[in-house]
Amino acid sequence: MSTTLLDVEAVRQRFSSLRSGFAFLDAPGGSQVPDEVGEAIARTLREASANTGAPYETSRAVERILADAKATGARFLGCDAAEVVFGANMTTLNFALSRTAGRDFREGDEILVTALDHDGGVAPWVELAADKGLQVRIVDATPELTIDYDDLERKLSERTRVIAFAWASNSVGSLADAERISALARNVGALSWIDAVHFAAHEPIDVRAIDCDVLLCSPYKFCGPHLGIAYVRREAGETWRPYKARPAPAEPLSRRFETGTPPYELLAGFNATVAYLDSIGGFEAIRPYERALGERFLAGLPDRAQLHGLPTMEGRVPTFLFSIDGVDAAEAAGRLAKTGIGVWGYTGNWYCVALTDRLCDPTMRVGFIHYNTEAEVDRLLEELAAL
């Protein structure tokens, strides 16, 4: 047994959804939610169904929830509360923020994205480019399915306005060097724009340390509700003219980019989510435990399995894309589900559109998160060998 700071059995007792014994090894598609998060959401709907600005207690309650969520988001991301923006989900928020930042872009300006990006981080720029005559250029991936930094530097120019990239690949699990890319963007006067949706479930975030301009994530990947969260650097956001109803709040800064009534119940759920993560030891406990699960999986993967991407845990999170010779991936996922194991099987690009040609064969995707166990990894490996 591995030695970790995480008491996984105590963790699992906090999830009703884990009591059936079904092994949810599908973290790249979203996580299970501890009961306390659902209770926080339900309690808000029962006791604080209101809006801000009214002179009675339910209104004051949602004002406290909103203020707490801003403070919680700031602590989770490593920024000021005024730099935290909430939205319906990452993709919707990304469309809104990219449109706002791009108001002043000019025909011929360029956006760099990478071949490893989820399309939620690419499509907003593609659509903005179509409207404004911009160019979206794709940075290649290496044979190991990591970012080709030489190609990135070749494609940088004085016309580059944004470098958008995924900090962790949702398809193959490889990590980007966010600090390096943010520095490259800054050197040419471009914005660094990070999709951290998959990264945020597995690694701590400090936007000041990497010195980025925009970062987006979503709690549904780290045991919370469906909600979009963004960091917008104050110095960047202050120069943008927002799309906003009048006379909705424009201060603090982040309220400029939030449209409509906030989902207070989901913000309460987010507060409970981060409190839950803190209570189990945070990423200091989560990270080594998840990496140990990944190493166990890689060590036991059958010889007939072909892994796409890095063959070790160095430079990746515990998300794995693979195929098994002679086995149909979708059929295999269905068979595994009948044995009580949840993975994905798919013929396609896993929303990583630029890698369509390289990921065109049927593949299975497995992703571990901190509530998974060594026994579940072993069960999966046994079933894969039996396939």
Sequence-distant (6+) residues with CB within 8 A of 338 are: none
- 250 and 293 housed in the same domain: no
In a domain, 60, yes or no: yes
- 221 and 179 housed in the same domain: yes
Assess contact for 217 and 199: CB atoms under 8 A: yes
pLDDT at 323 over 60: yes
pLDDT at 361 over 90: no
- Alpha carbon of 304 to those of 25, 318, 325, 326, 363: distances in Å? 20, 20, 6, 9, 13
Q: Categorise residue 160: left if φ over 0, alpha if ψ from -120 to 50, beta otherwise.
A: beta
What average pLDDT score do residues 44-48 get? 96
CATH code for the domain of 342: 3.90.1150.10
Rounded distance, CA 311 to CA 298, Å?
7
* Residues spanned by the domain of 358: 8-25+281-386
Q: How many structural domains compose the chain?
A: 2
Of the chain, the percentage scoring pLDDT greater than 70 comes to 99
Q: What is the DSSP letter of 147?
A: B
| Per-residue pLDDT tens over the stretch 83-136 | 999 999 999 999 999 999 999 999 999 999 999 999 999 999 999 999 999 999
- 52 and 198 housed in the same domain: yes
Angle between helices 329-338 and 374-386 (to 10 degrees): 130
Least Cα distance to 353 among 171, 178, 197, 152 occurs for 171
What pLDDT is stored for residue 283 in this prediction? 97
What pLDDT is stored for residue 4 in this prediction? 64
In a domain, 31, yes or no: no
pLDDT at 322 over 90: yes
pTM over 0.85: yes
247: preceding bond cis by omega (within 30 degrees)? yes
Assess contact for 221 and 72: CB atoms under 8 A: no
The answer to which of 42-46, 121-125, 191-195, 358-362 has the lowest mean pLDDT is 358-362
Of the chain, the percentage scoring pLDDT greater than 90 comes to 90
When pLDDT is cut at 50, 70 and 90, the band that residue 163 belongs to is: very high
What pLDDT is stored for residue 125 in this prediction? 98
Residue 194, number of CB atoms within 10 A of its CB: 27
pLDDT at 1 over 60: no
When pLDDT is cut at 50, 70 and 90, the band that residue 304 belongs to is: very high
What pLDDT is stored for residue 254 in this prediction? 83
- 253 and 112 housed in the same domain: yes
When pLDDT is cut at 50, 70 and 90, the band that residue 244 belongs to is: confident
Q: What is the DSSP letter of 241?
A: P
CATH code for the domain of 64: 3.40.640.10
What average pLDDT score do residues 213-236 get? 98
* End residue of a domain, out of 233, 260, 277: 277
Rounded distance, CA 17 to CA 347, Å?
28
Q: Beta strand 110-114 with 135-139: parallel, antiparallel or unpaired?
A: parallel
- 229 and 363 housed in the same domain: no
* End residue of a domain, out of 223, 252, 277: 277
pLDDT at 2 over 60: no
When pLDDT is cut at 50, 70 and 90, the band that residue 40 belongs to is: very high
In a domain, 316, yes or no: yes
pLDDT at 80 over 70: yes
| Per-residue pLDDT tens over the stretch 335-345 | 999 999 999 99
Q: To the nearest whole number, what is the mean pLDDT of the chain? A: 95
When pLDDT is cut at 50, 70 and 90, the band that residue 252 belongs to is: confident
What average pLDDT score do residues 12-19 get? 98
